[in-house]
Amino acid sequence: MVLGACATWSLITAAAQGGRPEGVLLAVLAVAAGYAAGRILGVLLPVAAPCAAALAGLALTTAPPRLAPGPEIAAPLGHAGATAAVLTLSAGAACCAAWATPLPVLRFALRLLAGGIAVAGAALGSTTAVVTCCAVLLCSLAAGRTRHRGPGLAGLALAAAAVTGLTWAVAGNALSGGLAAALEDQLTPHRVALWRDALRLAHDDIGLGAGPGRFGELSATAAQSTLSDGKPHSAPLQMAAEQGVVGVLLLAAAFCWVLFALWRAARPTPVVLTAGAALTALATVAAVGNALSFTTVSVGAGLLAGLATARPLTGEPTATEAPARIGREPRPRHDRPAV
């Protein structure tokens, strides 16, 4: 229902304001296809499927020169966000596979793979990928000591909301002078100018926005750039500028739906929290970049969510039970005969 509402609202705003809803529709289809594939593969191959997904994501970022066709955008607004997003999802998939296997050797090897993905991010020059991959790995290790998934998922939701609120505050120039200047230096003035254009467009029509895909033609900052992709490089601000407040609420509802599905999932808590940490890291990257503009990222997000919410055919041991049960035979029951 949430994904259907996102697609329907993009068509409504395009009909009312003009624009091109194809990008939103493609993203919705990509997430739905990835989620369905993840649910199926997670049932059949609960360990091999996330491991293969992690290796595929690593190959996509290291083998080809870029993740999408078209001209390469100059740094720092190029494909760095998509690269960091794919590597983060790959690290999350490797950590999920590590928790899904009962073999300690394989679990250690899969965690080494997650660490190697972070090293690959450093080799590609993506500091964001290194930070997010390490954060996912640390959260995955901490998830093994967590008994209740609810507080952990709530903390992840608060973290995503805090990053989004900080992005909005920077765009609205609501921070103090020293902090605002430091953040602007890290984010680059060009990116901040794009955010402010997006916020201005959102204020012009808070209900419907300017129309999907119209930010590039209405933004003065994007028009002045020689190589521009027509995006404000912030998913919440793009939805606010192009689809109004309803678009922002639908984007938040999609993220909350993923967390709710993870909370209700039958998989062990470490698998659920690891996937939640990776998807939250993706949300933070998307809040300050154009990661969700790439179909590869949308498919990967849906795939990881599907793998973490699937119901495997065989029972999975929990984090504390797995090492202790390996190699043990069940004790025979000696029932007393009925008198």
Average pLDDT over all residues of the chain = 86
pLDDT for 105 equals: 95
Q: How far apart are CA 2 and CA 85, in angstroms?
A: 22
Rounded to 5°, angle at Cα 132 from 129 and 133: 80
Judge whether residue 325 has pLDDT over 70. Answer: no
**121-138 per-position pLDDT tens digit:** 999 888 999 999 999 999
Total-model pTM: 0.88
pLDDT given at position 122: 92
- What mean pLDDT comes out for the span 269-289? 95
Q: Residue 75: its pLDDT value, please? A: 41
- What pLDDT is recorded for position 67? 54
pLDDT at 219: 85
Using alpha carbons, select from 98, 5, 27, 68 the residue that is nearest to residue 307.
Answer: 98
pLDDT band at 317 (very low <50, low <70, confident <90, very high): low
Question: Following DSSP, what letter does each residue of 72-104 receive, concatenated?
Answer: PPPTTSSTHHHHHHHHHHHHHHHHHHHHH---H
- Given pLDDT bands bounded at 50, 70 and 90, which one contains residue 339? very low
| Short-list 40, 66, 65, CA closest to 53 | 40
Q: Is the pLDDT of residue 70 over 70?
A: no
Count other C-beta atoms under 10 Å from residue 19's C-beta.
22
Contact between residue 14 and residue 20 where contact means Cβ atoms under 8 Å apart: yes
pLDDT digits (tens, 9 = 90+) for 142-189: 998 888 999 999 999 999 999 999 999 999 888 877 788 888 888 888
Percent of the chain with pLDDT over 90: 64
Domain ranges of the chain: 2-65+81-312
Checking if the pLDDT of 227 tops 90, the result is no
pLDDT at 152: 94
**For position 263, what pLDDT does the model report?**
95
pLDDT greater than 60 at residue 323: no
